[in-house]
Amino acid sequence: MQFVSSTQPQSSTQTAPQSSAPAQAPTPAAARTADSAFIRACRSEPVPHTPVWFMRQAGRALPEYHKVREGVPMLESCFMPEMVAEITMQPVRRYGVDAAIYFSDIVVPLKAIGVGVEIKPGVGPVIAEPVRTLADLDRLRAPEPEELAPIAAAVRLLTEELCERPLIGFGGAPFTLASYLIEGGPSKGHERTKAMMYGDPELFTALLDRIADITSGFLLTQIDAGASAIQLFDSWVGAVAPVDYRKYVQPASAKVFAAVASRGVPRIHFGVGTGELLRDLADAGADVVGVDWRVPLDEAARRVGPGKAFQGNLDPATLFAPPAALDAAVQRVLDDAAELPGHVFNLGHGVPPNADPGQLARVVDYVHENTVRS
Asked if residue 238 lies in contact with residue 274, where contact means CB atoms within 8 angstroms, the answer is yes
Q: How far apart are CA 156 and CA 368, in angstroms?
A: 28
Asked if residue 314 lies in contact with residue 348, where contact means CB atoms within 8 angstroms, the answer is yes
Asked if residue 330 lies in contact with residue 296, where contact means CB atoms within 8 angstroms, the answer is no
Helix (H, G, I), strand (E, B) or coil at 280: helix
Nearest to 169 by CA among 230, 218, 217: 230
CA torsion sign for 274, 292, 102, 269 is negative
40 among known catalytic residues: no
Tell me which of 40, 69, 141, 165 is the catalytic residue.
Answer: 69
Tell me which of 32, 98, 102, 105 is the catalytic residue.
Answer: 105
- Burial bucket for residue 225 (CB in 10 Å: 0-12, 13-18, 19+): buried
Asked if residue 225 lies in contact with residue 26, where contact means CB atoms within 8 angstroms, the answer is no
Q: How far apart are CA 122 and CA 353, in angstroms?
A: 12
Q: How far apart are CA 179 and CA 267, in angstroms?
A: 23
User: How do strand 124-127 and strand 117-120 relate by DSSP bridges?
Assistant: antiparallel
Asked if residue 288 lies in contact with residue 268, where contact means CB atoms within 8 angstroms, the answer is yes
Contacts of 245 (CB under 8 A, 6+ apart): 237, 277, 280
180 among known catalytic residues: yes
192 among known catalytic residues: no
Contacts of 369 (CB under 8 A, 6+ apart): none
Tell me which of 40, 56, 141, 210 is the catalytic residue.
Answer: 56
Tell me which of 32, 40, 141, 180 is the catalytic residue.
Answer: 180
Show which residues are catalytic: 56, 60, 69, 105, 180
